[in-house]
Amino acid sequence: MLTTNFINRELADRISEEIGTPCYVYDEGSLRGAADQVMAFPNAYGLTARFAMKACPNANILRLFRKKGLKIDASSIYEAERALLAGYEASEISLSTQEFPDDDSLASIVEKGMSVNACSLYQLERYGKRFPNTKVGLRFNPGLGSGGTNRTNVGGPASSFGIWHESKEDAKELAKKYGLNVFRIHTHIGSGSDPEVWIRAVSLSLDMVRYFEEAIYLNLGGGYKVGRIAGEATTDLQVIGAPMKEAFEAFGQETGRKIHLEVEPGSYLVANSCVLLSSIQDLTSTGERGYDFIKLDSGMTENTRPSMYGSQHEIQLLVPEGEKRIEKPYIVVGHCCESGDILTPAPADPEALHPRTLPEARIGDLVAIGGVGAYCSSMATKNYNSFPECPEALLRIDGSVDLMRKRQSLQEVVANETQIAF
């Protein structure tokens, strides 16, 4: 499967003329398809599926997903407010955050119905003091983690996310002290695509549900791995979901408790629904014992993942139809004055250069970088080197293209700077 297969030279030409490059191009059909897959997640006693909006928070994507029936996982109070602006109801939003908001901004949304997962004992205490005798979710670190790299692993002793599982008694005590009903248990460990790891995570999480007897929801977070390049596996939700469903059923038979499943994927819903359309703006070489470099008009300002994680993205040089070109190995780099701004690192090793075989490149060629729907537009080092925030477009089902976000102007880049007299 090619992650760039919804873009072709003709469409790329059209977008580069109408909007210019670089430009993120999202594919409505892929977004809808991924949402359908998530909404069909196997479950025993009901399902709530949330979009972890930190992956890609554009309001148009949120609105499309809301129509599909997806709720929201917000990872900061700002995201929760952004979801409200996009038309979500507070009751459709669940907050699991590393930075607990101030009481007033939290109250304004909690009083409208947003639910909160306390992610530390301190957060639980703060929540209990401000909202005694209400309901709360608890995010636990079950002691098990799994992720592509250390930087995407969000469970286990090296991860700060959630209440450490051995502190469950303390959590129960605190909840009791403030009359809180622990209605939901939450774990999110970044489990990848291995069904064995998932089933272990589910079993540890159900143990936590057993311990908190009032819990009626178990939220297993996201972390469904998406292959962004040939050779990387994409999670089959039906395959990993089936044993999870059985575990919920067995738990139901054992305890009489019919636990409602929540999942909250980010990557799975958006990763392969977007390409970054870019132009080749320069070609350089470091000679026979060096490399041939392709320099794009985009880079870590649009996609930081290769330099952060050594992640691999498909790179398709959109050769005009009918043109034959020989292939050559290239290092593809971004436009920032920063040696880490590279799109072809070695897998999982952002420090090492790993040439990619591509058709012979010419200045002005269009290039599509695949798999950039998740944690690219939302996580890039935007405005570094004062490059403006990149526009986002949506390829509609009927083949037309709608702008979802304009390119930033220089005035907008400097808008918050003040003028001091010297």
Ligand X SMILES: *Cc1c(COP(=O)(O)O)cnc(C)c1O
Q: For binding to ligand X (CB under 6 A), which residues are involved?
A: 52, 54-55, 73, 75, 96, 188, 190, 221-224, 264-268, 374
Tell the burial category of 417 from Cβ atoms under 10 Å away from its Cβ (0-12, 13-18, 19+): exposed
Q: How far is the CB of 209 from ligand X (least distance, A)?
A: 17
The count of other CB atoms within 10 Å of the CB of residue 165 is 19
Q: How far is the CB of 352 from ligand X (least distance, A)?
A: 24
In the complex with ligand X, the residue whose CB is nearer, 6 or 51, is 51
In the complex with ligand X, the residue whose CB is nearer, 238 or 286, is 238
- Residues with catalytic function: 337
Dist CA 62 CA 51 (whole Å)? 8
- At 220 the three-state DSSP class reads coil
The count of other CB atoms within 10 Å of the CB of residue 75 is 20
Q: How far is the CB of 54 from ligand X (least distance, A)?
A: 6
The count of other CB atoms within 10 Å of the CB of residue 10 is 10
Residues whose CB falls within 8 Å of the CB of residue 380, separated by 6 or more in sequence, listed in order: 300, 301, 302, 303, 304, 390
Geometric angle at alpha carbon 47, from 45 and 48, rounded to 5°: 145
Q: How far is the CB of 186 from ligand X (least distance, A)?
A: 7
Residues whose CB falls within 8 Å of the CB of residue 71, separated by 6 or more in sequence, listed in order: 48, 49, 50, 51, 88, 92, 93, 94
In the complex with ligand X, the residue whose CB is nearer, 19 or 80, is 80
Could you give the count of Cα atoms lying within 13 Å of 380 in the half-sphere of its Cβ? Answer: 28
Residues whose CB falls within 8 Å of the CB of residue 295, separated by 6 or more in sequence, listed in order: 280, 281, 282, 283, 284, 333, 334, 335
In the complex with ligand X, the residue whose CB is nearer, 151 or 258, is 151
Geometric angle at alpha carbon 23, from 330 and 37, rounded to 5°: 95
The count of other CB atoms within 10 Å of the CB of residue 30 is 20
In the complex with ligand X, the residue whose CB is nearer, 83 or 318, is 83
Q: How far is the CB of 271 from ligand X (least distance, A)?
A: 8
Q: How far is the CB of 198 from ligand X (least distance, A)?
A: 13
In the complex with ligand X, the residue whose CB is nearer, 72 or 333, is 72
Could you give the count of Cα atoms lying within 13 Å of 137 in the half-sphere of its Cβ? Answer: 26
